[in-house]
Amino acid sequence: MLSVIRPRRSLFVKYFTTLFVAVVVPLLLGSATEAWFAFRDNRYDLDELLRVEARSAADRIQAFTDGIRDQLGWVVQFPWTQGEDDRRRIDGLRLLQQVPAIVSLSMVDPTGTERVFVSRVSMNRTGAGADMSEDPAVIGARANRVWYGPVHYRRDSEPYMRIAVAGNRAAAGIVVADINLKLIWDIIASIKIGDTGHALVVDDSGRLIAHPDISLVLRSGVGAGDFNRLKSEVSAADGAAVTTTGEDGKPVVALSVPAPNVGWTVIAQQPALEAFESIRAALWRSLILIGLGIVFALVLAYWRACRMWGPIRQLEAGVERIGMGQLDHRITIQSRDELEQLAVRFNQMAEELAVSQHKSERINRLKQFLAPQVAELVEHSDQRLLDGHRREVVAIFGDLRGFTAFSARAEPDVIIAVLREYYEAIGAVTERHSATLIRFAGDGVMVLVNAPVACDDPAERGVRLAIDMQAAVQSLADSWNARGWAIGFGVGIAMGPATVGTLGWHGRLDYTAIGSVVNLASRLCGLAEDTQILVDPVVTGHVKGSIGLASIGERTIKGYDHALEVFAVARTGAPVRRTSPELDLVS
């Protein structure tokens, strides 16, 4: 333990004398530093504000185009069949009602022939029409399933674009939609940056697509050169804000973000005069403070003496590093005053935290593969229990039946939900019996009894654990089967010597067992049918007087030279499936 050092002289007297003499110079340096950091922070905040607004507009534009793409995808989800032009026409009219941005739809069959055309501004038509197989929209949709066309202007005013979507199968055909982009104005008009800042959208050629002043959009090519120049300068900054000249010729701070899929550029900008207003105000405040500091040097020296810059900054840095997990960090302050005493106390606290964390990490690592009460016992006992050694163990393997077929048909979230229920049930039973959960492997589980902590009558404990495990999983299986999922559960148990201990690499260690008993338990699990618990002759010899078992005959086990008589637990809360004409009960 570090000894506590009493201060020899007053902290206030020592710092007040030094800071009173040097108060003016630190004040000047502090003001300059504050001004620099204020400028940097302001510029960073401005960059973040512009980036957030531009990204928000780009995301909403993507949501706009993705929504139209998804709606179009519903029209081409089924193959073309004879006599369904009217149904397709009705689907198209319904889509025009649901999506106001869609002006017209062309539905093209697999041969590239337009079969249905519906529009808000033109006559609808059905039947074999124009050959669109060479249309860029059809070619692009066939190649990439979704095709976004360039922006074009009708009557040289309103912006439009074409979107083509192909079905999942070639027989479903292709739908080509004409989209009115004037609706994107709502997205851009809602963005306000400061008092007068705004966002705008241009295409890859610099033509204006959306602007808060919609008259600029409706005039199409007017000012396209300015917008193209603005796009080029901002895009060259690669995502950073730049100071440039806006479309009205005034200095602005602007930042661009690409809009996914469509190749547009979203530009967020704010007038430079407004953007840097806070910086100018901060500079004026700094000048006033410097003047006041020179006049009232005595007061400022007193204030700065009380602040105790250096040591407290060091303590703050130490606290930050400790908070980041660097518990080996130590603070060295040789001021011979209260701050040195505080540093000593701080170092003592860090040392105690390191010891506590190390102990907590050991227990948490043990709890990854041991029941909590077993982990606590190992932690407070001989740590060599986890080292590699030879021991008589009971190995238990469990595996879901029918899970592979179920997982091939079910959705991922359903599979995860079933496995979560399964894992929780197995974990609860294992913890209740103070056994060691070695691992989960997909739908399989491995449990050890009598390692690393020895127990009385491990064979009987292992069989009863398996019975409870089977009952818990069968309870879940009833609900699964009620939902149409044919899932069962089989268990295999074997007893014998095995090498147990921790294996792994660096910080990733697992407790496991190696030996023929493990292989045998796994093979028995593979032989077990739904609701069955199969045990080897060794376990049978230990528990036949207390637990009802039934012989299912000799079985050829992979890796063994001769057949092995296998027994099944006769009462597990579910009927034992007989695989031989007659079962001999073992009593």
DSSP string, 260-317: TTTTEEEEEEEEHHHHTHHHHHHHHHHHHHHHHHHHTHHHHHHHHHHH-HHHHHHHHH
pTM over 0.75: no
Strand partners, 262: none
Reference 469, options 486, 492, 451, 496; nearest CA is 492
- Can you list the domains of the chain with their CATH numbers? 60-183 (3.30.450.20), 184-275 (3.30.450.20), 325-366 (no CATH), 382-569 (3.30.70.1230)
Residue 227 half-sphere exposure toward CB, CA atoms < 13 A: 25
233: CB partners within 8 A, 6+ apart: 242, 244, 254
Q: What is the pLDDT of residue 187?
A: 78
Q: What is the DSSP string of 525-581?
A: HHH--TT-EEE-HHHHHHHTTTS-EEEEEEE--TT-SS-EEEEEES-SSSPPPP-SS
| Contact (Cβ atoms closer than 8 angstroms) between residue 268 and residue 190 | no
Token pair for residue 259? 């809009």
| Ordered per-residue pLDDT tens for the chain, 587 residues | 444 454 455 556 666 676 666 666 676 777 777 777 777 777 778 788 888 888 888 888 888 888 888 888 888 888 887 777 888 888 888 988 888 889 899 888 888 888 889 988 888 888 888 888 888 988 988 888 999 988 887 776 678 889 999 888 888 889 999 988 877 777 777 777 877 888 888 887 777 778 887 777 766 555 567 777 877 888 887 778 888 887 777 888 888 888 877 888 888 888 888 777 777 777 777 777 777 766 666 666 666 556 565 676 677 777 777 777 676 777 777 767 676 777 787 787 877 777 776 666 666 665 555 555 455 555 555 556 667 788 899 999 999 999 989 999 999 999 999 999 999 999 899 988 888 888 888 889 999 998 887 888 999 999 999 999 999 999 999 999 999 899 999 999 999 999 988 777 765 667 788 888 999 999 999 999 999 999 999 999 999 888 989 899 988 888 788 888 999 998 644 443 333 333 333 33
Q: What is the 3-state secondary structure (H, E, C) of 385-421?
A: HHCCEEEEEEEEEEEEECHHHHHHHCCHHHHHHHHHH
Q: What is the pLDDT of residue 1?
A: 42
Q: What is the pLDDT of residue 576?
A: 39
* Summary count for the chain: helices (H), strands (E): 18, 21
Sign of CA dihedral 440, 442, 443, 444: negative
Reference 172, options 109, 126, 112; nearest CA is 109
Q: DSSP character for 112? A: S
Strand partners, 186: none
Q: What is the pLDDT of residue 573?
A: 45
84: CB partners within 8 A, 6+ apart: none
Residue linked to tokens 């879940």: 476
Q: What is the pLDDT of residue 578?
A: 36
Q: What is the pLDDT of residue 219?
A: 65
